[in-house]
Structure 1
Amino acid sequence: MPYPLSPSAVDALRDGTPGARSTTHFNHAGSSLPSAATLAAIHAHLLREASLGPMEAGATSVEQTERARTLAAKLFNAQSDEIALTTGNSPGWGAAFAALEPWRAGQRILVARHEWGGNLATMRHIAQRAGATIEAIPSDATGRVDPDALEAMLDERVRLIALTWLPANGGLINPAAAIGQIARRHRIPYFIDAAQAVGQLPVDVAELGCDVLAGAGRKALRGPRGTGLLYVRRDFLPQLMPAFVDTYSAPLDAKGEPVLRDDAARFESSEASMALRCGLANALHEALEIDIDNIRARIDQIACNLRAQLAELPGVSVLDQGTERSGLVSFNVAGLDALSVRRTLAAQGITIGSNGVPYTPFDMTSRGLTQIARASVSYLTTDAEIDKLLAAIRTLAY
């Protein structure tokens, strides 16, 4: 078990993070605070575009694009040709789903109760027109998706298992590797939405047993908004035919015929922000330098402390489920809606998130929740920031 980051190391990281000096940030699950070095990498490329021209500057950034791909592969324990650089978690996940062969009536998609609403919208938009169904896998007594219940649901009509690893509406962590063992044993394609996991938890695609995994740059990874990572298992790639291609993902051959790339970059486009990719490369480098195990230990320590102190406040209900938990801490304040709590705290310079039913409709509905307030922490979060948040919530709760 790694030791949490030392106070001096955290201070140094905060000194290199401009936003840490101007806001008390508890919305890292929405978008975290980028480092000055990440911002400098973006700015440096924009200056190259201004001086050389965007197309000419783009040619100079190829090295950084490939650096981002290589670093992402290291982060995921994957091969570089299994990584696509996308514009976000949902674009990557949705592109992979849309690339599956056409759906047929009677086919089934099994999802955890905590599936992200955007993924559900994508699945329903495409699959249900063909008469395919989307079914929620039951959860166990702790709230996590139940692998035994999944196994009992399987038949020859199940064509996809999809899992949101860390739900957007709380700290629960689903047993992604256990689900992967079942998917592999039955040879059923397995997609993981790792938007909240990437940069917060160790991600080993071999251990997870997934065919596709999508992540975001802007959350725990502290990369720029408008970036994402898509892993596609090499042996699974031939089963995916992108719904959209261009001269990068499928260049024309001498006969004028498109030749689809034989790597995950078939999900990339020639029209990409090279500046943001430079920033993403730096964010990946920083996460690997700090070490994901150290990041996980620090976030877990902070989140456990915050949950325990929130639970002691009168009128505050901590809503997190599961046995292993993430840096997302969900709660409600009696008599107040979550949006009002968020706005009141924002007026005091404290940022949190608030989620409604559309974010995780199956889970929110099954638990009778219409909204949650969410304070998500980072390894940058300090005790002083937690004290400020608790003092503000204490005032609201009375």
Structure 2
Amino acid sequence: MSPLDVRQLRAATPGCQSGIVHFNHAGASLPSQATLDAIIDQLQREARDGPMEAGEQGAVLMENARSAAAQLLNAPTRAVAFAGSGSAAWNMAFQALGPWQPGDRILVGRHEWGGNLASMQLAVQAGARVEVIPCDETGAACPLALASMIDAHVKLIDLTWLPANSGLINPAQAIGEVARRHAIPYFIDAGQAVGQVPVDVQALHCDVLKSAGRKHLRGPRGTALLYVRPDFLQRLNPAQRDVFSAPWSPQGFDLRDDARRFETSEVSFALLAGLGNALQEMNRLGIERVWEHVSRTSARIRAALCEIPGICLHDLGAKQSGLIAFNLAGWDAFELKRQLGLKRINIGANGVAYTPLDMQARGLPSIARISVSPLNNDHDIERLMAGLRELRG
């Protein structure tokens, strides 16, 4: 991306005109004015024509969003569903994989998202075991170690691709090759990947993949994507059903034969209109260009952080994402976040609950986190570094 591209993106984004420097895109990024307009237009349509009557146009916008998501993921359109959050999407797919039996094994990366681990507790209560895939020398989940763990009792392999508490990029494709070779279901939590790095569900060999709309996609809160491989769909029996996901026929109520079996008849067409616009903007911009900019910008930030005494980076892996976890000596991560916020600089902060297995393994009670977007420019970096230097004293 050129400096002109970045200027144009910023000019089209109200949050970039507010004087706030935003480095919390992994928490929630800044929507464009066009995304806001898409949401408002649908709300006004509902107010003017009647909410149910405006649903016809809303359904068209929803399918436009589905097509844009399929393009971004290199997936068939029928393999994409929408949900209210990434956690809800993942939990629905996970619960639909049951029932769980004593002795079933679930293999996860050490960096697994805490919400996914919480969802697994129902399986654990039924007698399943959650086991951690060993890391390689860089701290990433090791495909060779995974292969040595496989037996007939492994019912699921689950990987958080880009963890919330480091710059790690886990080897999702190599993990998928092990899963596919042994015909074991493979779920990917791509909450921090979609919209930041290129995502090709065919190359990843995944059966299920989820991501939130509010993060790097720059969509509205309350939206999420769920990909389900079509040939895997019949393995999933969702408990939540209504007249949309399991429509009536004279023969009874049958689940849909596409990913929409995870949707319901009650959705926010306004939010999905906004998500659709954000997805279309991402496709026009080009995810490869986005990743190149994020990678280059985050490398510059890492180098600048290393020049500030007292900063400790918590990167893992051979190559890093645009998530930069760090601590500043003498500062609690959440208080550091708050103090930077008073300077109108937004960053994130995570505690143990977000990635409990990895945080405990590394003895990290909390981390501060910078996350990068194509919206960030040189001025943002200078403001951030100046703010950190001032707080260091």
TM-score, normalised by the number of residues in structure 1: 0.97
Residues 140 and 146 in structure 1, CA contact (< 8 A), matched pair in contact too = yes
- Cα deviation, 1:207-243, whole Å, max 9, x if unaligned, reads 0000000011110010111111100000000000011
Residues 83 and 229 in structure 1, CA contact (< 8 A), matched pair in contact too = yes
Residues 316 and 397 in structure 1, CA contact (< 8 A), matched pair in contact too = no
2:224 to 214, 224, 228: 228
* Aligned: 1:192 with 2:170: no
Shift, 1:101, TM fit: 2.6
Query: What is residue 48 of structure 2 aligned with on the other side?
Result: 51
Tell me the percent identity: 55
Query: What is residue 346 of structure 1 aligned with on the other side?
Result: 341
> 2: distance between equivalents of 1:138 and 1:383?
38
Could you list the runs of 4 or more consecutive aligned residues of structure 1 that deviate by over 6 angstroms after TM superposition? Answer: none
What amino acid does structure 1 have at the position aligned with 2:222? G
Shift, 1:344, TM fit: 0.2
Residues 237 and 264 in structure 1, CA contact (< 8 A), matched pair in contact too = yes
* Aligned: 1:95 with 2:92: yes
Q: Which runs of 5+ in 2 are unaligned?
A: none
Query: What is residue 205 of structure 2 aligned with on the other side?
Result: 209
Aligned-CA RMSD value: 0.8
* Aligned: 1:106 with 2:97: no
What amino acid does structure 2 have at the position aligned with 1:358? A
What amino acid does structure 1 have at the position aligned with 2:104? Q
Q: Which runs of 5+ in 1 are unaligned?
A: none
Residues 101 and 239 in structure 1, CA contact (< 8 A), matched pair in contact too = no
2:59 to 59, 62, 66: 62
> 1: distance between equivalents of 2:15 and 2:159?
32
2:235 to 236, 239, 245: 239
Partner of 2:231: helix, strand, or coil?
coil
Query: What is residue 388 of structure 2 aligned with on the other side?
Result: 393
Partner of 1:61: helix, strand, or coil?
helix
Shift, 1:258, TM fit: 1.1
> 2: distance between equivalents of 1:6 and 1:306?
18
What amino acid does structure 2 have at the position aligned with 1:28? H
Query: What is residue 156 of structure 1 aligned with on the other side?
Result: 152
2:332 to 337, 343, 356: 337
- Cα deviation, 1:21-67, whole Å, max 9, x if unaligned, reads 11210100000000000000000000001111111111221111111
Shift, 1:298, TM fit: 0.2
Partner of 2:61: helix, strand, or coil?
helix
* Aligned: 1:26 with 2:23: yes
- Cα deviation, 1:121-170, whole Å, max 9, x if unaligned, reads 0011x201111000111111111111111111111111100000000112
Query: What is residue 6 of structure 1 aligned with on the other side?
Result: 2
> 1: distance between equivalents of 2:270 and 2:339?
35
Shift, 1:9, TM fit: 1.1
What amino acid does structure 2 have at the position aligned with 1:146? C
What amino acid does structure 1 have at the position aligned with 2:380? E
> 2: distance between equivalents of 1:170 and 1:322?
9
Partner of 2:331: helix, strand, or coil?
coil
* Aligned: 1:296 with 2:296: no
Partner of 1:56: helix, strand, or coil?
coil
> 1: distance between equivalents of 2:361 and 2:70?
37
What amino acid does structure 1 have at the position aligned with 2:47? A
Query: What is residue 248 of structure 2 aligned with on the other side?
Result: 252
Query: What is residue 302 of structure 2 aligned with on the other side?
Result: 307
> 2: distance between equivalents of 1:216 and 1:340?
26
Residues 89 and 228 in structure 1, CA contact (< 8 A), matched pair in contact too = yes
What amino acid does structure 1 have at the position aligned with 2:41? A
